[in-house]
Amino acid sequence: MKPVNIGLLGLGTVGGGTAAVLQGNAAEISRRLGREIRISAVCDLSEEKARQTCPSAAFVKDPFELVAREDVDVVVELFGGTGIAKDAVLKAIENGKHIVTANKKLLAEYGNEIFPLAEKQNVIVQFEAAVAGGIPIIKALREGLAANRIKSIAGIINGTSNFILSEMREKGSAFADVLKEAQALGYAEADPTFDIEGNDAGHKITIMSALAFGTPMNFSACYLEGISKLDSRDIKYAEEFGYRIKLLGITRKTGKGIELRVHPTLIPESRLLANVDGVMNAVRVNADMVGETLYYGAGAGALPTASAVVADIIDIARLIEADTGHRVPHLAFQPAQVQAQNILPMDEITSSYYLRVQAKDEPGTLGQIAALLAKENVSIEALIQKGVIDQTTAEIVILTHSTVEKRIKSAIAGIEALVCVDKPVTMIRMESLHD
């Protein structure tokens, strides 16, 4: 069989890893596929790097020239971002080229433009590496769990944030200090905003939600809350209650609509997700027939991510000449069945909550706080009062039973208005992961 020719857009960390996997494991890939995968053209800012990395490939300065080449069957977009990458992908699809991308931002924000065009042009768009690096969660959602109704997904899907939270827990260090450590180790960017404020995880949970529930991409409706305001005291207090704090991406089907959110979350330390530490990722999927499944592995890095990229290339190579009816739909459901659904506002979600209140250490304070919670029908599951901070101030830490978020916010507003309360109340959502 004739080789499948690919054009690489970008030779950064993942692009270089992809070239290394294709070249280093060429014989193994051919044994599995029955044909050769060949890098026929490369586009990168550095011609020297391109010629060193892919010496037998043509170097192309203009990405739009690469996506028009007749000797390119599959365009592998590894530029990242939504500028040139978006335009090049759309042009490649118009030219009838199949696409492999690791670009979660592109898909979460512009997938509603990309996938319909791909259907129209009869081309395949594969994106396993866009979510959780080397973990094959996209294939699981699109194929392995196809017999199920997905109930919920909860995942640790940003390695930078997970490393920071793990170090804060293990060492008791402040957020700012651990962030500097993460940057020194190369786990965090010079500008870490995209990772620590939940944007990266938001793109990933948006993609998984669309696959799980048959909806268009809804990134603009995804609630994002990062970890930059977390205090090491909250991590310590959570442990005293038997919980750990993780940045979770969560999507859940409810009778009122779909939850789509990213935020720090207390989860019981007995749950497997609570014990995923360092830069590792994990995704928990709960479905009606199979029950709970967990997918764990490296969520980033050159070779783990390249492993997913090359697996997508292999899938396309197998399907490139097959009848289109044999292809897995891009968003797991037939295109006509992909339908918009209500995304629940955060005020309407139901959760349990962790509250930390800094208040005057005087008689009646606890009673006033409890009364305001009771007024909103919020019941207390557990409470501890920590020692005096500065001779006059103490900390009260409360875990609530499940309630609607608008009720807890109303109670918090009342608590913060009390004369005896010194600072804004810290609120962190909780998940039992028993749904």
Alpha helix (H) residue ranges in 172-231: 175-184, 193-196, 199-213
Concerning whether 204 is annotated as a catalytic residue, the answer is yes
Residue 366: both structure tokens together: 């606890």
Q: Do you know the residue count of the chain?
A: 435
Q: Single out the residue of 393, 373, 375, 376 nearest to residue 385, CA to CA.
A: 393
Query: How far is it between the farthest Cα atoms of the chain?
Result: 83
> What are the φ and ψ backbone dihedral angles of 62, each rounded to 5 degrees?
-100, 120
d(CA 398, CA 355): 5
d(CA 79, CA 180): 27
Residues 390 and 329 sit within 8 Å (Cβ to Cβ): no
Residue 73: both structure tokens together: 């069957």
Sorted by sequence, the CB contacts under 8 Å of residue 54 that are 6+ apart come out as: 8, 11, 19, 23, 39, 42
Based on its alpha-carbon atoms, the radius of gyration of the chain, rounded to whole angstroms, reads 24
Q: Single out the residue of 166, 150, 263, 247 nearest to residue 208, CA to CA.
A: 150
Residue 225: both structure tokens together: 């809350």
16 is known to lie in a ligand binding site: yes
Residue 309: both structure tokens together: 């990229």
Residues 110 and 99 sit within 8 Å (Cβ to Cβ): no
**Quick one: angle between helices 13-24 and 26-33, nearest 10?**
70
189 is known to lie in a ligand binding site: yes
12 is known to lie in a ligand binding site: yes
104 is known to lie in a ligand binding site: yes
Q: Single out the residue of 83, 126, 175 nearest to residue 318, CA to CA.
A: 126
Residue 313: both structure tokens together: 């290339």
In what helix (H) or strand (E) does residue 246 lie, and over which residues does it extend? strand 243-254
10 is known to lie in a ligand binding site: yes
* 3-class SS letters over 333-368: CCHHHCCCCCECCHHHCEEEEEEEEEEECCCCHHHH
74 is known to lie in a ligand binding site: no
15 is known to lie in a ligand binding site: yes
159 is known to lie in a ligand binding site: no
Q: Choose, from 204, 246, 375, 386, the residue flagged as catalytic.
A: 204
Q: Angle at CA 238, nearest 5°, toward 234 and 240?
A: 120
Residue 165: CB atoms within 10 Å: 23
**Binding site, annotated residues for NADPH:** 104
**Binding site, annotated residues for L-homoserine:** 189
**Binding site, annotated residues:** 9-16, 104, 189
Q: Which residues participate in catalysis according to the annotation? A: 204
**Binding site, annotated residues for NADP(+):** 9-16
